[in-house]
Amino acid sequence: MKKFAVVAAMATALLGSTAVHAADVEVIHWWTSGGEQAAVSVFAREFDALGEDKWVDTAIAGGENARAATLQRILGGDAPGAAQFNPGRQYEELISGGMLLDLTPLAEKEGWADFIRPASISEACLVDGHWWCVPVNIHSWNWAWASMPAFEKAGVELPTSFDDFLTKAPKLKEAGVIPFAIGGESWQINGAFGVIQTAMLGLADREKILKDKDLELAKSKMADVFTKFREFKQFSDEGSANRNWNDTTNLVVTDQAAMQIMGDWARGEFGVAGEVAGTDYACLALPVEHPTVSTGGDIFLFPKQSDPAVEEAQLKMASMMVNPQVQALFNNAKGSMPIRDDVDMSLADDCMKKGLEIIKDPANIAVDAGRWLSNDTTGQMNDLVAQFWADDSMTVDAAVEQYVNILQTAE
């Protein structure tokens, strides 16, 4: 009898949940560092405040791991309610496979196409006239973070170009500062490489190589990039192997290192540490001579669910994420730029204002390489650049040859 009662209770509970009621929406993301957590809790707080629905947080350290978990769970039929990806080709097969909730009706009602800018950000989610995901921020890789006390200690000015930095680096080293902070993970190394590549090639040639796969141009230009990149290695510290990006940023925060090339998510770490832009640290938009902004970032997609209550909650969450108020709070914590112009930016610090100024001119926008290259190709480039960085016996010619080969076989 008792058993029956339990079963009956469970059955009613299950039945109850099919009616539109409060729902739990599980969100998979990889925001685990201090600044990132501060940002994601803005989303969670705002979503919970909307009503009965609950934000269920599943943070998985490391983008690769989080994306892998999401893909496996969608394929395995246990899809999360929402999942973070980077804009680009990471989820193209989820769209073509019909596994995602179509957000078009909501987007048309709220007029997303009118306020989400620049086009390279909205294009990541707007595929064939349908909205498949929500862009939440614009992250640019093209930044260097410099510790002003570290440069003062060595008695040198902030660098005005990469070459200028390389000439000042020995002085920084003499002063007991790590001139160039970098973490040994392959994506960090390849990211810094990409920034140097953008600076040396210019946006037009970069696009020809990465988008149009111009092999001849790659052969003639990439050798210089690899050569220059190797010059930076002598100014890195020996502890860089396998170091997280935020531990690396922390070296700059604590003035042990002079400079790190890292995307603007690093700004969140300075914020959490209570540092002030312009006095404690400087943000250099790269290349310093002609600053650009790359349009990476994060998007959230919503896998299809069988439960209508969850689906309704998913739409609420999507709407919340583009809300101007939430955009302002979230991006301030995250260090990124909002995906719309009309947010209250009175809280924005100097670095974000700098970025927003640059992004106004479409000529300054470096489209994120992930838009053109599949995960597979990016992964191969990560491997190559990391190997080149670690292995001094690998010649520039060999690296260029492999680089061209990767481009040639890319789809």
Partner 1 sequence: MSQYAQSSDAAALVSTSPPRRARRKFNVMSIVGTTPMILTAVGVFVICIIFSFIWSFTNSKLFPNFNFVGMDQYNRLWASDRWRISVGNVFLFGVCSLVANMVFGYLLAVFMDQRIKQEDLFRSIFLYPFAMSLVVTGLVWQWMFDPNLGIQSAVRQLGWTDFQFAPLTNQATAIYGVVLGGVWNGVGVTMAILLAGLRGVDAEIWKAAKIDGIPAWRTYLFIVLPMMKGALLTAFILQCTGVVRVFDIVIAMTQGGPGVATQMPAIYVIQHITDRVNVGQGMAAACTMLLPVLAVIVLQGVLQWNAKRKKEKAI
- Of 286-294, 311-319, 346-354, 386-394, the segment contacting partner 1 by CB under 8 A is 386-394
Touching partner 1, residues 358-377 (CB under 8 A): 374-376
Stated as kind and residue range, the H or E segment containing 296 is strand 296-301
64 binds partner 1 (CB under 8 A): yes
Exactly one of 44, 175, 390, 410 binds partner 1 (CB under 8 A); that residue is: 390
Smallest distance, Å, CB 380 to partner 1? 8
Touching partner 1, residues 67-126 (CB under 8 A): 67-68, 71-72, 75, 90, 93-94, 97
Q: Is the Cβ of residue 94 or residue 309 nearer to partner 1 in the bound state?
A: 94
379 binds partner 1 (CB under 8 A): yes
Q: Beta strand 126-127 with 82-85: parallel, antiparallel or unpaired?
A: unpaired
For 45, how many CA atoms within 13 A lie in the half-sphere containing its CB?
Answer: 10
Query: Per DSSP, which regions of 159-291 are E strands?
Result: 178-181, 257-261, 281-285
Query: Per DSSP, which regions of 186-251 are E strands?
Result: none
Q: Is the Cβ of residue 17 or residue 58 nearer to partner 1 in the bound state?
A: 58
241 binds partner 1 (CB under 8 A): yes
Dihedral of the alpha carbons of 331, 336, 339, 341, in degrees to the nearest 10: 80
Binding mask 164-203 for partner 1 (x = CB under 8 A): --------------------xxx-----------------
Backbone angles phi, psi at 223, to 5 degrees: -60, -40
Touching partner 1, residues 283-342 (CB under 8 A): none
d(CA 61, CA 134) in angstroms, rounded, equals: 21
- Of 116-124, 128-136, 356-364, 378-386, the segment contacting partner 1 by CB under 8 A is 378-386
Number of residues that bind partner 1 (CB under 8 A): 36
Query: Closest by alpha carbon to 23, among 47, 40, 58?
Result: 47
Cβ atoms of 308 and 18 closer than 8 Å: yes
Q: Is the Cβ of residue 68 or residue 347 nearer to partner 1 in the bound state?
A: 68
Q: Is the Cβ of residue 292 or residue 377 nearer to partner 1 in the bound state?
A: 377
d(CA 170, CA 179) in angstroms, rounded, equals: 8
- Neighbouring residues of 357: CB distance < 8 A, sequence distance ≥ 6: none
Smallest distance, Å, CB 64 to partner 1? 4
List beta partners, residue 147.
Answer: 281
240 binds partner 1 (CB under 8 A): yes
Cβ atoms of 38 and 272 closer than 8 Å: yes
- Of 2-10, 152-160, 202-210, 236-244, the segment contacting partner 1 by CB under 8 A is 236-244
Neighbours of 337 (CB within 10 A): 27
Question: Interface residues with partner 1 (CB under 8 A)?
Answer: 64-65, 67-68, 71-72, 75, 90, 93-94, 97, 184-186, 237-242, 374-376, 379-380, 383-384, 386-391, 402, 405, 409
